[in-house]
Chains A and B, each alone.
Chain A
Amino acid sequence: MTSFLIGAFLATLISALFTSRLYGLILWYSLNSLSLALLAISIGFKIDDNTMIISGFLTLIVKSAVIPYILKKVSIKFGLARQITPNVPVYYSIMLIPALLVFTFYLAEPITNMMSSNANYVAISISALFLSLLLIIEHKNIAAKIIGFLTIENSLFLLGTTATNGMPMLVELGIFFDLLMAIVIINLLFKSEELS
Chain B
Amino acid sequence: MIFLLMLPALIMLVFSFWDISKSKYLFPITSLLILIPSIRLFFLPKPYSVWGDYLVVDKLSEYIMLVSSIVAICVTLAVSTLDLHVKISKSENAKFYRFFAIFWIGLTASILANNMGVYWIGLETATLSTVYMIKTNQTLAAKKEAWNYMIVGAIAISLILFGIILIYASAKPILGENAMSFSALLQNAKHIKSPFLFEIGFAITTLGMFIKMGFFPMNLWLANIERASFYPIAALFSGILESAVIVGFFRFSKIASIINHQHVFIFVFTYTALTIFIVSFLIYRAKDFMRLFSLSGVEHMAIIALFWASGGIFPALLHFGAHAFLKPALFLSTGILESKGKYRIAGALKGYSGVSGKVFYFLTGLFLLAIVSIPPSPMFFSELYGFGAMIDIAKVNKHLLLMIGAIIILLGLLSIIFYKFVEIYQSMKYEGEEKQKVVYGNEVFALVIFALSLLFLLTPWSFEFLRSIS
Contacts and interface: CB of A to CB of B under 8 A. Distances in A.
User: SS class of chain B's interface: helix, strand, loop or mixed?
Assistant: helix
A163 B169 contact: yes
Interface string A115-144: 100100010010001000100100000100
Interface residues of A, number: 40
A66 interface: no
A105 to B, nearest CB: 13
Contacts of B154: 149, 152, 182
Interface stretch (A11-19, A73-81, A106-114): A106-114
Contact of A175 (B121, B173, B180, B195): B121
Interface in A144-160: 145, 149, 152-153, 155-156, 159-160
Given A110-B196, A164-B165, A196-B143, A133 B150 contact: no
Interface stretch (B2-10, B125-133, B280-288, B359-367): B125-133
A122 B121 contact: no
A149 B117 contact: no
A186 B196 CA distance: 37
B197 interface: yes
A163 B194 CA distance: 13
A192 interface: yes
B293 interface: no
Interface string A159-182: 110011101101100110110011
B54 interface: yes
Contacts of A165: 172
Most buried by A among B121, B143, B161, B169: B169
A185 interface: yes
B151 A118 contact: no
Contact of B158 (A152, A170, A177): A152
B155 A133 contact: yes
B166 interface: yes
A196 B143 CA distance: 10
Interface string A22-44: 00000000000000000000000
A186 B154 CA distance: 11
A178 B180 contact: no
Interface string B128-155: 1001100100100001001100110011
B193 interface: yes
B121 A186 contact: no
Contacts of B67: none
Given A129-B159, A145-B151, A168-B177, 11 more contacts: A111-B200, A114-B196, A114-B197, A152-B154, A164-B168, A167-B117, A167-B180, A178-B128, A188-B132, A189-B131, A189-B150
5 contacts: A136-B155, A160-B165, A163-B165, A164-B169, A196-B143
